[in-house]
Amino acid sequence: MVVDDFKNIINVNLLGVIAVTLSVLPFIKKAKGRIVNISSVLGRICLSSGPYCVSKFGMEAFNDCLRLNMAPFGVKVLCIEPGFFKTGMADTKHIQNSFQKIWDRLPQDVRDDYGSDYIDQLKVRLTKNYEKKLDEDLMKVVSCMAHAVSAVYPRTRYSPGWDAKFFWLPLSYMPSFISDAILIKNHIKPKASI
């Protein structure tokens, strides 16, 4: 990956949200309203999708800072952190194409470190495992949004999806050596790994 891979995703997922939020903040502050931002469970635990996770970790930090700064003005800042849902963003063909584009841009020595079949193994694993784990019930996310907007006592964070509640969030609270071991165990090993 190159810096531009990070910039492109951070510009949309983080800086775009910050720009929109700050542009309407005076009105929300005046009305003692609410800000509800959508992040991801990948803002709490990192997978190998570096730029996406970096942007979502940034979103979590922005929400936390904004929540603390706006509390004295009666503004509530809430965050929805969905697990993996079946949406256009989660389309395996789209993700496979993104992986392939990154792979094709890598210097030959890096590709050699990973091995010629690494990208193919990654695509197979994505199709076999990832697609089956996607939650198709988007109403879980919509219900969290509705609650965040209308509840008298909204939660600070919402984590819709079985995977978020029972795997990703518990994993994020574990010591790093445990969560790392679990995540690394499930990664495809590069050819040159030890």
CATH of the domain at 3: 3.40.50.720
Nearest-10 Cα torsion for 189, 126, 82, 26: 90
Q: Is residue 30 part of a domain?
A: yes
**What amino acid positions are annotated as catalytic residues?**
52
What pLDDT, on the 0 to 100 scale, is given for residue 194? 59
Whole-number Å distance between alpha carbons of 6 and 125: 24
What's the mean pLDDT when you consider all of the chain? 91
Instruction: Based on the fold, state whether residues 69 and 130 are members of the same structural domain.
Output: no
What pLDDT, on the 0 to 100 scale, is given for residue 80? 98
Q: Is residue 51 part of a domain?
A: yes
Closest CA to 10 of 59, 68, 78: 59
**Which of 46-55, 88-97, 132-141 is predicted with the least confidence, judged by mean pLDDT?**
88-97
Instruction: Based on the fold, state whether residues 36 and 129 are members of the same structural domain.
Output: no
Q: Is residue 174 part of a domain?
A: no
**Which of 42-46, 125-129, 134-138 is predicted with the least confidence, judged by mean pLDDT?**
125-129
Instruction: Based on the fold, state whether residues 95 and 44 are members of the same structural domain.
Output: no
Closest CA to 13 of 44, 56, 57, 67: 56
Whole-number Å distance between alpha carbons of 34 and 163: 27
Instruction: Based on the fold, state whether residues 27 and 117 are members of the same structural domain.
Output: no
Instruction: Based on the fold, state whether residues 78 and 154 are members of the same structural domain.
Output: yes
User: How many independent structural domains does the chain possess?
Assistant: 2
Q: Which pLDDT tens digit goes with each residue over 7-35? A: 999 999 999 999 999 999 999 999 999 99
For residue 62, the enclosing domain spans: 1-84+136-161
Q: Is residue 36 part of a domain?
A: yes
| Boundary residue ending a domain (119, 134, 149) | 134
Instruction: Based on the fold, state whether residues 7 and 62 are members of the same structural domain.
Output: yes
**Which of 69-78, 108-117, 145-154, 163-172 is predicted with the least confidence, judged by mean pLDDT?**
108-117
Instruction: Based on the fold, state whether residues 38 and 97 are members of the same structural domain.
Output: no
Whole-number Å distance between alpha carbons of 23 and 127: 40
Beta-sheet pairing, 157-158 with 34-38: unpaired
